[in-house]
Structure 1
Amino acid sequence: MNWREYQAGQRVVELGHRFISYVDEGRGAPLVLLHGIPTWGFLWSGLLPALSMTHRVLIPDLLGYGYSDRREGFDRSIARQAEALDAWMDRLGVRDAVVVGHDIGGGIAQHLAIRFPRRVSRLCLMNSICFDSWPIEMMVQLGHPGVVRRLSAQALQRMLKLALKRTGFATAPPDGVLDGLLAPYATEVGKTSLVRDAAALDTNQTQELVPRLPHLGVPTRIIWGVEDTFQPVKWGERLAWAIPGAKLVRVEHARHFVMWDDPHAVMTALYAFLGVEERPQLEGLQGSSI
């Protein structure tokens, strides 16, 4: 599935004056997948066919990201994103779901589990922001307001592609994946929105959760590409120590985009966590290890 095909399958729901674009595929218990920065829901496209065989898979583009609302003038922080997702689930009639978060999506998932516990039946964090592990220097620089004036969308695309290709993947990503992950930000509107997204990154919003992590009562699984330089595995270990009963699954020879570096390992860990006994065949799973 290329990014255009993925985007063509998105739906839209209005939340007040804003809107969220999302994918809704499959049947069964709801499974919500949250992306990070600088990606969008397409991040999960390689796992979507397999997961939708056993679950109703819901993949939103965060506000200000992908093809959700990218206009100016609203709060894009992870705390606000969690509030928007709570409202989004309410609009869809989804009482609770297994929530999986990657990168800042993991921080949002933590907010959901702690602040809106009724929404999260199980929690899975993949190479997630946490504590004061973020924002990384690249995102700090991206969030400077002057970037909007200094860099064209094309120049920013080149810089991000180079950075993600060099350090985000353990091996070369499949053809079209890197272009797809950054596609929404290839226009001036997309570029400006991404700069605003980066400016909203605030380590205090995970630090404020730290005293509450030991009281998190939801079953939790942590899946981590151990060669990640953006979010080193020590942060996954710390999360596993802080959250009662959490188990850390290390994925060797994988970096930040663990779901592309080793989709088989990620799916195996997810199926085990979800309690899927009759597992679909994974031979056609798309990823760098195929």
Structure 2
Amino acid sequence: MNWREWQRQQEVLELGQRFVSYVDWGRGSPVVLLHGMPTWSYLWSGLARGLATSHRVLVPDLLGHGFSDRRDRFDRSLSRQAEALEAWLDRLGVVDAAVVGHDVGGGVAQQLAVRFPRRVGRLCLMDSVSYDAWPLPLMAQFGTPWMARRLSPERMVGLLSWALKSRGFAKKPSAQVVEGLLAPYATEVGMVSLSRDAVALNTNQTQVVSPKLGQLAVPVLVMWGAKDQVLPTKYGERLVWDIPGARWVSVPEAGHFLMWDAPHAVAMELFRFLEGEAPVTHAPERPVAEVLWSEGAPG
């Protein structure tokens, strides 16, 4: 599936003054797949269809990313992303989802699991930002005003394409894959929005939840590409050490984008994790919220 076909599958849900674009496939226990930077929900296009044969698969674009709301002047931090996702899940009536987060999406997943535990029945972190391991220098540079003013969208996408090809994959990706992962940012609006996303990258957002990871009481899987040149495996190993009962899976011959380098191995591990012993479920405490998330919500 190319990125245009994926985009045509997206639905849109308004959350107060913002909106989230997302794919909603299949039936069964819910699985939420969260992307990182500089990607979008298309990152999961190779796995989502298979997972949807036995699960309800929900794949959002984080606010400011992909084809979710990219208008200016709102908070794009991990904590606000988690609040937006909590409101989005509430609107969809989803509790106890299996939440899978990659890269920055893994940081959002940590916030969601710690702050809104009734939404998270299982947690999988894949090559996730954590502790003080991020932001990466290149992405941090995109958050500087002078960088956004000097670069054209073509030049920025060219730099990101080079970075993804040289460091993101253990196997040479196709041009279609790289183009698809960066497609939303190949316009002026996309470039400016990605720059705003980069401004929000803040290591304090993972440091503040790291002492609370030991309180997680759900099944946790930490899966890492053994050849990740972006976020070294030592950070994944530390997550396993800090989270009680977490299971560690190292994927040989895979880099940072392990779902593209080793799709079969990743899919098999995910199915194994999703079909494991059922976690304790949370009975809904109230009807779907009437009050929608907005940037005025407490942070």
Q: Gaps spanning 5+ residues in structure 1: where?
A: 278-290
Is the Cα contact below 8 Å between 2:62 and 2:68 reproduced in 1? yes
How does 1:2-17 map onto structure 2 within 5 Å? 2-17=2-17
Partner of 2:37: 37
Is the Cα contact below 8 Å between 1:127 and 1:236 reproduced in 2? yes
CA distance in structure 2 between the partners assigned to 1:152 and 1:163 by the alignment? 17
For normalisation by structure 2, the TM-score amounts to 0.91
Q: Kindly report the root-mean-square deviation, in angstroms, between the aligned alpha carbons of the 2 structures.
A: 1.1
Matched, 1:66 2:66: yes
Partner of 1:269: 269
Once the two structures are superposed, what CA deviation does each residue of 1:103-159 show, in whole Å capped at 9, x if it has no partner?
010000001100000000000000000011100111111111112210000000111
State the shift of 1:174 in Å.
3.3
Partner of 1:183: 183
State the shift of 1:275 in Å.
1.3
Code of the residue aligned with 2:56 in structure 1: it is: R
Give the 4+ runs in structure 1 shifted more than 2 A: none
CA distance in structure 1 between the partners assigned to 2:127 and 2:252 by the alignment? 13
How does 1:214-225 map onto structure 2 within 5 Å? 214-225=214-225
CA distance in structure 1 between the partners assigned to 2:180 and 2:258 by the alignment? 16
Code of the residue aligned with 2:190 in structure 1: it is: G
CA distance in structure 2 between the partners assigned to 1:144 and 1:217 by the alignment? 39
Code of the residue aligned with 2:265 in structure 1: it is: A
Q: Gaps spanning 5+ residues in structure 2: where?
A: 278-299
DSSP-derived class of the 1:182 partner:
helix
State the shift of 1:77 in Å.
0.3
Partner of 1:230: 230
State the shift of 1:95 in Å.
2.2
Is the Cα contact below 8 Å between 1:36 and 1:103 reproduced in 2? yes
Partner of 2:256: 256
DSSP-derived class of the 2:46 partner:
coil
Is the Cα contact below 8 Å between 1:107 and 1:130 reproduced in 2? yes
For normalisation by structure 1, the TM-score amounts to 0.94
Q: What is the identity percentage for the equivalent residue pairs of Structure 1 and Structure 2?
A: 61
Partner of 2:154: 154
CA distance in structure 2 between the partners assigned to 1:218 and 1:190 by the alignment? 36
Once the two structures are superposed, what CA deviation does each residue of 1:141-194 show, in whole Å capped at 9, x if it has no partner?
111111221000000011100110111011111341100000000000000000
Once the two structures are superposed, what CA deviation does each residue of 1:53-110 show, in whole Å capped at 9, x if it has no partner?
0100000000000000000010000110000000000111112300000001000000
Partner of 2:247: 247
Is the Cα contact below 8 Å between 2:37 and 2:104 reproduced in 1? yes
State the shift of 1:31 in Å.
0.4
State the shift of 1:214 in Å.
1.0
CA distance in structure 1 between the partners assigned to 2:267 and 2:254 by the alignment? 14
DSSP-derived class of the 1:205 partner:
helix
State the shift of 1:273 in Å.
0.5
DSSP-derived class of the 1:254 partner:
coil
Is the Cα contact below 8 Å between 1:10 and 1:22 reproduced in 2? yes
Matched, 1:163 2:167: no
CA distance in structure 2 between the partners assigned to 1:136 and 1:253 by the alignment? 22
CA distance in structure 2 between the partners assigned to 1:29 and 1:37 by the alignment? 27
Once the two structures are superposed, what CA deviation does each residue of 1:201-245 show, in whole Å capped at 9, x if it has no partner?
000010011211111111100110011111100000000000000
Code of the residue aligned with 1:232 in structure 2: it is: P
Is the Cα contact below 8 Å between 2:185 and 2:191 reproduced in 1? yes
- Larger CA deviation: 268-277 vs 194-203: 268-277
Partner of 1:197: 197
Code of the residue aligned with 2:122 in structure 1: it is: R
CA distance in structure 1 between the partners assigned to 2:229 and 2:198 by the alignment? 18
Is the Cα contact below 8 Å between 1:31 and 1:99 reproduced in 2? yes
CA distance in structure 2 between the partners assigned to 1:171 and 1:152 by the alignment? 29
Partner of 1:173: 173
CA distance in structure 2 between the partners assigned to 1:98 and 1:211 by the alignment? 22
Is the Cα contact below 8 Å between 2:95 and 2:121 reproduced in 1? no
Is the Cα contact below 8 Å between 2:113 and 2:216 reproduced in 1? yes
How does 1:26-175 map onto structure 2 within 5 Å? 26-175=26-175
